[in-house]
Structure 1
């Protein structure tokens, strides 16, 4: 028999940004989703590149001019950053799927490694592109 004199319990609080404090693994989770969206946009850019290539030299020259503009280079830099971040964080998730690195200390350390790899790889690619005249 239940005790009818007990007051009703408070419903549990949803995990919300006002309840949770920010931590690096939360930032990596949000960034992983954002870079996934950015890579989708990158796939659309790659499709536009293929269409411009198929339409002939004039269309391709226009596309190259657009991507060679400062805004185009900024978009391509962002796509490079998104690619390397999504790659590194995907590898981290594969390690987690194998059951490793799930404690808080390892998860935080791997988040730092993901961000460091992303920065280093992106800068390296753009330095190499600048040195070879691709920019």
Structure 2
């Protein structure tokens, strides 16, 4: 698009080792009902509505679409209104477990402090995933 100006979106990524097989991690992440367990800062309640998921926290809610490609380790939670915004997770084999990358794409103009606060939440969510999916001892 030459001659046109566009405001770039921002993204931020975190990663963690999860001590569970990639298929188990992907299957767990792909079920939006599990968000309450590993991402309670994002989802107090999750309900399905005509192929979309209403994710609610406090007084706010948003509609998300869950896109998965289990064989590729892909689980995306994207805005129902704009599939370029949301959380994009990738699960890769990592020794005896999985390497999970978690990227959030933010709307253009999102303040830096808001991005930092959101990514602190992502760090908590990855630690929760490590705990929930620790597997047998």
User: Which one has the bigger strand percentage?
Assistant: 2
Bigger radius of gyration among the two: 1
**Length-normalised TM-score, structure 2:** 0.30
**Length-normalised TM-score, structure 1:** 0.30
User: Which one has the bigger helix percentage?
Assistant: 1
